[in-house]
Structure 1
Amino acid sequence: EQEKRVLTSSMEDYLEMIYRNSLEAGSMRINTLSELLNVRPSSTTKMVQKLTKAG
């Protein structure tokens, strides 16, 4: 049975920003992502870990 992977709107925001910035810069730093999304670096780190775990 295939497990459903559901992305929250917040997760989608992170992924979109990572994608857009990576196209321009080739990579993305936590601090840059935090600034672009107007969130704390610690929150960004937690979300990136969740996204990594989700695959």
Structure 2
Amino acid sequence: MEILFWTIVVFGLVYSFWYAFYLVKNKNKLGATGMALVGLLIGIFSFMVRLK
């Protein structure tokens, strides 16, 4: 269960930062900032979850 959780977290982090990079290339800096913030929140909140 823990491996599945960390796989989803890492996928979410990579996808959000990749999409933020894509938005920066298309000159959408506000959207890129939002997606980078989502990636940071995924990373931060993943350490607050306790799996049993």
Normalised by the shorter chain, which TM-score bucket? 0.3 to 0.5
Task: State the TM-score, normalized to the length of structure 1.
Answer: 0.40
Is the helix fraction higher in 1 or 2? Answer: 2
Q: Which structure has the bigger radius of gyration?
A: 2
